[in-house]
Amino acid sequence: MTRYATPKLGAYVVLTALGLLASLIFARPELALIAVPFAVLLAVGLAYARKPDVRVHLELDRERVLEGDEITLEVELDARDSVARLELLLEIPRGLELVSGRNPVALRLEVGEERLLELRFRCARWGAYRLGDVHLRARDAAGLLAWDQTLARAETLRVYPRPEELRELVAPRETQLFTGNRVSRQKGEGLEFADLRPFAPGDRIRRINWRASARRGDLWVNEFHAERNADVILFLDSFADARRGGTGTLDQAIRAAASLSERYLIDKDRVGLVNFGGVLNWLRPGTEMLQRYRIVEALLNTEITLSYAWKEIDVLPRGTLPAKALVLALTPLLDDRTVSALLDLRARGFDLVVIEVSPLPVAEPAPGPSGELAFRLWKLLREGRRAEYERAGRIPPPRTRARLGLGVAAVATVAGVAVYGAFEADRVSLLVLALGAGSVALLVFGLAVPSPPALVGSLVGIAASWSLSAWTRGSGAPGGTILAAAGIFVAAELAYWSLEQASVPDEPELLARRAAGLALRAAGALALVSFALAALGLRAGGGLLLEAVGAAAAVALLALVLLLARAGHETAER
């Protein structure tokens, strides 16, 4: 895992340093009191922070599904050490839609705890998907340090196109020698009547046509058309793809190829595939269910690859295009290389059928008269290409409620401190109120964007507002400083907690635990500020005691900076 400091750590260091140094410079004890909770949280949080240890295992209930089906992915977590907050994000490829479960998710794990998360997806689009890249982000209890890790737990999911309903198939012009469901022109064993001929030695008795024999006074036998299969080659053009939104010509061509291959294989024909594009792929003709899976697997891996190389039919190996094969070409007629290759096939005598996957539904003319003119010229060019084929043959045409609530609580706390300081100020109350209102506005901006620097500026502003209010009342630290310091600390905790919800919202159980922890921190802040105030005395408006506190704070701040630098150096070495 890679360890790094969170923005909260940097902000708390800045707030502690500003509070203690400003207290030393301006001889105001309330500034030191405001910085005390932040300094203590930094010291305790960094002292007890440790690297988490979580094991992740993924399991899919099925590896092959059809479009529209739903699958379940189980994520098993095994915590070897306690984790105060663990954020888990599973990369979901496009084409899969989350039906149930939460992704990303934030939760808390105790030592030795095992947690099973179930995510249910709907396969909205065909394709070969790779599930399992899991991103983990763990935070310590104080939220000062974080650890990131990406786990490659690859699970392959293959979503096959759902076959479309085909009313009629294009019948091949020629058949092959193997038995099938096609009525051949040749005579042989079959069911379709072909002709009559005189009886010859070796003919079967059951083939004698007794009615014709009685009329002609001699034995005549029936001849039948042989039942053979055909070779069908699906020629897929993958040079170009016209796309708009979530659909394109390549998607439609692949869906059509999958449906055609299934129907021809059901009719016992041999089906092959030629993927003619930037990357050339092919499958020799085959039969039965195994060939169907081979074709669909090859279609799932089809993609557009940019290539400027001119390719012709001669690049295909011998046997890929058998003689007398029916070639079904699925193309948007956008690339000249495909147009030339198909004309070459037709010139060589192949039974060619061009199925145009029209790009017009996904194409729009550019705005203006010139765009309309260019669009019309492009359509005329397509008509010219169709004419070439017609001469060669015939063409068949997340914000969450938790984040909002935490943000509102932080803003309300800062606003309360600002209003309280304005009421307690002896002079310049409007200036104190204006400074507090500016801090509230800056906090709202920092939570909405979100912007950690804006949060730091807001907290500095509200601390300055309270310090100005206390300055108008003399040199002693007023009793309200206890509540003001604790309120500013709680507002900071709420604000950074709200920022964490922007990426991954907490689970209800984790929310309850963190709320209890925040209550304990608020009580601790009240106790710390009260103790520091009692140690300084209400009239500690400068002098040796305050300077000693400032010097100790400077030494502690230097030690904290050295500790952070050492931690960063250790992380870089790892």
CB atoms within 10 A of CB 18: 19
pLDDT for residue 571: 41
DSSP-assigned letter for residue 27: T
Tokens of 173: 């012009």
Distance, CA of 407 to CA of 30 (rounded, Å): 26
Q: Edge to edge, what strands does the sheet with 192-198 contain?
A: 179-188, 220-228, 192-198
Do 100 and 120 meet the contact criterion of CB atoms below 8 Å apart?
yes
Q: Which of these, 522, 528, 530, 536, lies nearest to 492 by C-alpha position?
A: 522
C-alpha distances in Å from residue 22, one per residue of 17, 188, 401, 439, 530? 8, 106, 38, 18, 20
Do 495 and 457 meet the contact criterion of CB atoms below 8 Å apart?
no
User: pLDDT tens for residues 328-387?
Assistant: 988 888 888 888 888 888 888 888 888 888 888 777 777 888 888 887 887 888 777 777
pTM strictly above 0.85:
no
- The residue length of the chain stands at 574
Do 321 and 327 meet the contact criterion of CB atoms below 8 Å apart?
yes
pLDDT for residue 500: 81
Dihedral angle of Cα 521, 524, 529, 535, to the nearest 10 degrees: -150
User: pLDDT tens for residues 448-484?
Assistant: 878 888 888 898 888 888 888 877 766 555 557 777 8
Distance, CA of 517 to CA of 188 (rounded, Å): 88
Q: Which of these, 379, 313, 384, 326, lies nearest to 355 by C-alpha position?
A: 326
Distance, CA of 62 to CA of 298 (rounded, Å): 20
Tell how strand 2-5 and strand 145-160 pair up: antiparallel
Do 220 and 213 meet the contact criterion of CB atoms below 8 Å apart?
yes
Tokens of 327: 């070639």
Distance, CA of 384 to CA of 364 (rounded, Å): 20
pLDDT for residue 392: 64
Do 393 and 348 meet the contact criterion of CB atoms below 8 Å apart?
no
DSSP lists the bridge partners of residue 233 as: 272, 327
| Cα 553 off chain centre by | 47
Tokens of 235: 């020629």
CB atoms within 10 A of CB 519: 11
DSSP lists the bridge partners of residue 544 as: none
Q: Residue for token digits 């159980």?
A: 509
DSSP-assigned letter for residue 165: P
CA 326, 331, 334, 337 dihedral sign is negative
Tell how strand 64-66 and strand 145-160 pair up: parallel
Which helix (H) or strand (E) segment holds residue 388: the answer is helix 369-392
Distance, CA of 566 to CA of 145 (rounded, Å): 14
Which helix (H) or strand (E) segment holds residue 550: the answer is helix 544-573
pLDDT for residue 550: 41
Q: Which of these, 574, 554, 485, 568, lies nearest to 9 by C-alpha position?
A: 568
pLDDT for residue 120: 92
DSSP-assigned letter for residue 506: B
Tokens of 404: 């909002």
Average pLDDT per block of 10 residues along the chain, 574 residues long: 87 88 80 85 87 88 87 90 88 86 87 90 85 85 88 81 80 73 70 80 84 86 80 87 78 87 86 83 84 84 63 74 86 83 82 85 79 82 73 53 80 86 78 88 87 87 84 62 82 85 74 83 80 60 41 43 44 40
Coil/strand/helix, residue 252: helix
Q: Residue for token digits 């949080």?
A: 45
State the Cα angle at 81 between 80 and 84, rounded to 5°. 135
pLDDT for residue 307: 58
